């Protein structure tokens, strides 16, 4: 190829490049999306775990919702009150008071307390138990299966399985709710960190059936309801339920429970 041909080709390529650059620049100006500076500041203030515990698609989704007035400034369960205050300053609003929460497993049916119907060898995933006899090897059809689906769901390493039952590390827990969503038996709930007593059983079987399946299962005897000075305990579906708004945390129900199904947290 001659020198003239090379120069011509270079000129054509250069001209095309310039035209494409001008076109892209103009298109960028024409179709650009205005970014709310507050949204960027809120996103920076969020912890960045992208756990989804707030109900939005990660921290960016929550930041956009807060900036758009679609979510509260303290909507991040991981950041808690401190992050809520920082975001309130960014948004120029008053920060409300928030209650720290933690996950709690309503079951104590470990290897020593809960009976088993058979030996199970298979996929260690609690969600798979719907496909095996009796919903799993444990005699209690309402208890923790202990295969760690909640452990794998927790992004904060705050839950573990000990002797066949899940246990929560309250100090590590950030109340994102991932373990709550993952438990197929709905045995995990978020409770206020300051709650002093909770019912560690959710069996809806009658007393004799529960006693046969687990040594620490609630038998619905009603002693806890009788000794509670504030009428905060009731028996619903054969097991105790505590109204935390009425509860003073005196611990009388836990002390008198014959099966120790009510525990101090």
Stretch 128-153: mean pLDDT, rounded? 92
pLDDT at 22: 73
Query: Averaging pLDDT over each range in 2-6, 13-17, 134-138, which range is the top one?
Result: 134-138
Residue 105 DSSP class? E
Q: Provide the angle, in degrees to the nearest 10, between the axes of the packed helices 58-67 and 37-45.
A: 130
* pLDDT interval class at 15 (50, 70, 90): confident
The SS3 of residue 148 is coil
More confident of the two residues 21 and 197: 197
Among 66-70, 110-114, 247-251, name the one with the lowest average pLDDT.
Answer: 66-70
Angle at alpha carbon of residue 108, lines to 105 and 109, rounded to 5°: 120
pLDDT at 88: 87
Beta-sheet pairing, 262-264 with 188-192: unpaired
Residue 160, φ and ψ in degrees, nearest 5: -145, 165
pLDDT tens-place string over residues 86-100: 888 888 887 766 778
pLDDT at 94: 79
Stretch 27-48: mean pLDDT, rounded? 75
- DSSP sequence for 207-224: HHHHHHHBTT------HH
pLDDT at 215: 95
Give the contacts of 261 (CB within 8 A, at least 6 positions apart). 108, 199, 200, 201, 216, 217, 218, 219, 239, 240
User: Could you tell me if 140 and 109 are in contact, meaning their C-beta atoms sit under 8 angstroms apart?
Assistant: yes
Separation between Cα atoms, residue 102 and residue 158, nearest integer Å: 10
Separation between Cα atoms, residue 63 and residue 41, nearest integer Å: 8
Angle at alpha carbon of residue 170, lines to 168 and 173, rounded to 5°: 85
pLDDT at 134: 86
* pLDDT interval class at 10 (50, 70, 90): low
pLDDT at 29: 62
User: Could you tell me if 188 and 104 are in contact, meaning their C-beta atoms sit under 8 angstroms apart?
Assistant: yes
Residues 77, 82, 87, 88: is their CA dihedral positive or negative? positive
pLDDT tens-place string over residues 195-242: 889 999 999 999 999 999 999 999 999 999 999 999 999 999 999 999
Average pLDDT score over the chain: 88
pLDDT at 133: 87
pLDDT tens-place string over residues 148-197: 999 999 999 999 999 999 999 999 998 999 999 999 999 999 998 888 89
Domains within the chain, CATH numbers bracketed: 37-91 (1.10.15.40), 99-194 (3.30.70.20), 195-265 (3.30.70.20)
The number of angstroms, rounded, from the C-alpha of 55 to the middle of its chain's C-alpha atoms is 10
């Amino acid at each position: 190829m001659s020198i003239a041909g090379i120069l011509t080709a270079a000129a054509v390529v250069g001209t095309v490049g310039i035209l494409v650059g001008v076109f892209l620049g103009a298109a960028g100006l024409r179709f650009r999306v205005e970014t709310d500076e507050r949204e960027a500041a809120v996103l920076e203030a969020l912890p960045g775990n992208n756990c989804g515990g707030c109900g939005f698609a990660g921290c960016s989704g929550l930041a956009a919702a807060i900036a758009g007035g679609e979510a509260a400034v303290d909507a991040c369960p991981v950041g808690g009150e401190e992050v809520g205050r920082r975001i309130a300053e960014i948004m120029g609003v008053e920060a409300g008071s928030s209650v720290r929460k933690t996950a709690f497993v309503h079951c104590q049916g470990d290897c020593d307390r809960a009976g088993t119907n058979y030996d199970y060898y298979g996929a260690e995933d609690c969600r798979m138990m719907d496909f095996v006899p009796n919903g799993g090897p444990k005699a209690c059809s309402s208890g923790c299966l202990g295969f760690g689906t909640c452990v794998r769901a927790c992004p904060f390493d705050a839950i573990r399985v000990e002797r066949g039952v899940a246990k929560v590390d309250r100090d590590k827990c950030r109340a994102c709710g991932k373990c709550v969503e993952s438990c197929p038996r709905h045995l995990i709930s978020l409770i206020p960190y300051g709650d002093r007593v909770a019912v560690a059983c959710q069996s809806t079987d009658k007393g004799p059936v529960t006693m046969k399946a687990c040594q620490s299962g609630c038998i619905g005897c009603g002693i806890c309801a009788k000794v509670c000075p504030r009428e905060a305990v009731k028996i619903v579906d054969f097991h105790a339920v505590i109204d935390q708004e009425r509860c003073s945390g005196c611990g009388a129900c836990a002390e008198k429970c014959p099966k120790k199904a009510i525990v101090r947290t």
